């Protein structure tokens, strides 16, 4: 008798009982969203608010805005969604033509107030505020370096605080010279937006792992993780920052320089194309929506199947499913309806509620599904929680057959550059074969998009994009696994503890 695989433990051991949880969500958690504005004659904090409002999908744990009127920095940053943290009176108190903003999902350091960004740091050039998207893998030794070299005192537990201290205290005649030195120390992913009382500074790491773009607005300049945030403001998209590029905006205008040691080929996270970025954002010169449709089309060409209907798991898989259906010439339908008001909650589900958690988020329409052979397209499978329940719901709704197609390769390794997707033992594709996963989720058939198919969809060259979560090969050396709460434990230890 053939072995029947069982599902792995799907609970997240890193999530404290008091932390906010998301109902029915097992997707990789996005990094963070950053935004900056230098708009003479305008209140930049308002632009910053709407900028990170458009980037809310990248992080839902905390939000913050720092602003300057040329005399002093003001800052508001709290745990919560953008709309929860900021009311009209908060924006009124953030005066000035210069502002930066941040919305966070933690990848190093816990979800606590002291890790909310922007962060403030102080040095010979005065105060700076910093927002960070990404993950620096050598933050611990650099933390000790800052303590010994600069006498830094850390109050939080994030790698972002280490970066802020380095930029605030590293000597240099200008921000380009400072960045040259800091970039030689940092290892990992970091798109940064920083400000002093008079200047706005944007930085993209030499690998270009996380996106960062620049646009024009009302005679000034704006920067954002994604072009969708520029569109939300009516800004004119100029370009994406180059890997290793530093841009400085001040009263004299805008200047930029690329770090001379930056590699020629970028290594942007390929998951930005698959899932993280909004479908209406431009990444590496192309629209994410069109790339995702191509992923679905290639998924069909690689593993065609006969069916009556194609559906996607809303909302993130919709373009992939539309591309699959068009290529297969099979009707596309919305067989699953998503409750878009389900989000993060402080209410802890008991085991019964965990079992029906996906029903809280999705509902299958029996009238559409009943008696049909269904292809359900997902953009990725991490632990398998969602897709297992979706397959069960479709069968209960009367589906004759359920074929699962994943418009991305199997995730077999963890991310070290700003994505919290699970530990290695929780990644179902790292522990089970495709045939076993098919049994676990209860599908008739299961297939994944090949890595070659994904690269074709995003027009990737041989040296472009980080593919580490699929291949285990990263653009720089990393530990096998890293603990996102490692610096929280360090902060909790008494001084002098070993």
> 449 in helix, strand or coil?
coil
Which alpha helices (H) appear in 186-233, and where do they start and end? 227-233
Establish how many alpha carbons lie within 13 A of residue 396's alpha carbon, considering only the half-sphere containing its beta carbon: 11
Q: Which of 63, 68, 38 is nearest to 49 (CA)?
A: 63
Q: Are 113 and 80 in contact (CB under 8 A)?
A: no
Q: For residues 104 and 157, give the distance between their C-alpha atoms in angstroms, rounded to a whole number.
A: 14
Residue 66's SS3 state is: strand
Please tell me the distance from the alpha carbon of residue 52 to that of residue 133, in angstroms, as a whole number: 13
Separation between Cα atoms, residue 331 and residue 324, nearest integer Å: 10
Give me the count of residues in the chain. Answer: 498
Q: Indicate if 32 belongs to the active site.
A: yes
Contact between 6 and 105 (Cβ < 8 Å): no
Q: Which residues, other chains included, contact 295 with Cβ-Cβ below 8 Å and sequence gap of 6+?
A: 274, 320, 323, 379, 407, 408, 449, 453, 454, 457
> For residue 176, what are the contacts with CB-CB under 8 A and spacing of at least 6?
246, 248, 257
Cβ distance 100 to 74 under 8 Å?
no
Site of tokens 């991310």: 415
Report how far residue 379's alpha carbon sits from residue 386's, in angstroms, rounded to the nearest whole number. Answer: 12
Pinpoint the alpha helices (H) of 119-208: 139-150, 159-169, 175-185
Residues 6+ apart with CB under 8 A from 339: 360, 361, 362, 363
- Look up residue 29 and give its DSSP letter: B
Rounded Cα distance between 390 and 311, Å, is 11
What are 75's two structure tokens?
A: 């800052």
Contact 486, 106 (CB under 8 A): no
Residue 193 structure tokens? 């937006």
Q: Which of 32, 146, 213, 269 is catalytic?
A: 32
Task: Give catalytic residue positions.
Answer: 32
């Amino acid at each position: 008798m053939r072995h029947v695989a069982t599902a792995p433990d799907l609970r997240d051991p890193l999530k404290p009982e008091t932390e906010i949880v998301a109902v029915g969500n097992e997707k990789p958690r996005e990094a963070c969203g950053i935004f900056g504005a230098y708009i003479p004659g305008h209140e930049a904090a308002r632009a910053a608010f709407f900028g990170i409002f458009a980037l809310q999908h990248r992080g839902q744990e905390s939000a913050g805005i720092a602003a300057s009127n040329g005399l002093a920095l003001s800052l508001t940053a709290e745990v919560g969604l953008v709309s929860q943290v900021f009311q009209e009176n908060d924006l009124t108190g953030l005066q000035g033509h210069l502002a930066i903003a941040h919305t966070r999902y933690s990848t190093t350091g816990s979800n606590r107030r002291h890790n909310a960004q922007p962060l403030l740091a102080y040095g010979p050039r005065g105060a700076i505020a910093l927002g960070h998207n990404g993950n620096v893998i050598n933050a611990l030794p650099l933390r000790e370096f800052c303590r010994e070299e600069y006498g830094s005192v850390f109050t939080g537990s994030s790698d972002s605080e280490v970066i802020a201290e380095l930029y605030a205290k590293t000597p240099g005649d200008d921000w380009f010279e400072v960045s040259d030195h800091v970039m030689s120390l940092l290892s990992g992913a970091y798109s940064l937006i920083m400000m002093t009382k008079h200047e706005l500074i944007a930085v993209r790491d030499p690998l270009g792992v996380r996106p960062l773009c620049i646009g024009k607005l009302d005679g000034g300049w704006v920067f954002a993780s994604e072009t969708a945030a520029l569109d939300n403001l009516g800004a004119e998209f100029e370009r994406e920052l180059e890997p290793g590029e530093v841009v400085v905006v001040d009263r004299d205008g805008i200047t930029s320089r690329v770090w001379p040691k930056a590699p020629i080929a970028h290594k942007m996270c390929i998951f930005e194309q698959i899932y993280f970025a909004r479908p209406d954002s431009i990444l590496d010169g192309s629209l994410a929506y069109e790339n995702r449709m191509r992923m679905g089309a290639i998924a069909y060409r690689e593993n065609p199947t006969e069916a009556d209907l194609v559906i996607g798991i809303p909302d993130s898989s919709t373009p992939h499913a539309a591309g699959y259906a068009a290529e297969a010439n099979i009707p596309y339908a919305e067989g699953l309806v998503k409750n878009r008001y389900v989000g993060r909650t402080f209410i802890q589900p008991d085991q019964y509620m965990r079992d029906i958690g996906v029903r809280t988020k999705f509902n299958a329409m029996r009238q559409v599904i009943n008696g049909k052979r269904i292809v359900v397209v997902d953009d990725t499978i991490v632990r398998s929680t969602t897709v297992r329940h979706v397959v069960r719901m479709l069968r209960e709704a009367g589906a004759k057959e359920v074929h699962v197609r994943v418009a991305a390769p199997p995730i077999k390794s963890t991310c070290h550059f700003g994505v919290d997707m699970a530990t290695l033992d929780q990644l179902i594709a790292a522990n089970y074969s495709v045939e076993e996963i098919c049994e676990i989720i209860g599908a008739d058939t299961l297939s994944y998009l090949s890595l070659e198919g994904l690269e074709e969809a995003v027009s990737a060259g041989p040296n472009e994009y980080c593919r580490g979560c699929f291949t285990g090969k990263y653009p720089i050396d990393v530990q096998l696994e890293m603990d996102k709460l490692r610096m929280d434990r360090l902060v909790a230890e008494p001084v002098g503890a070993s």
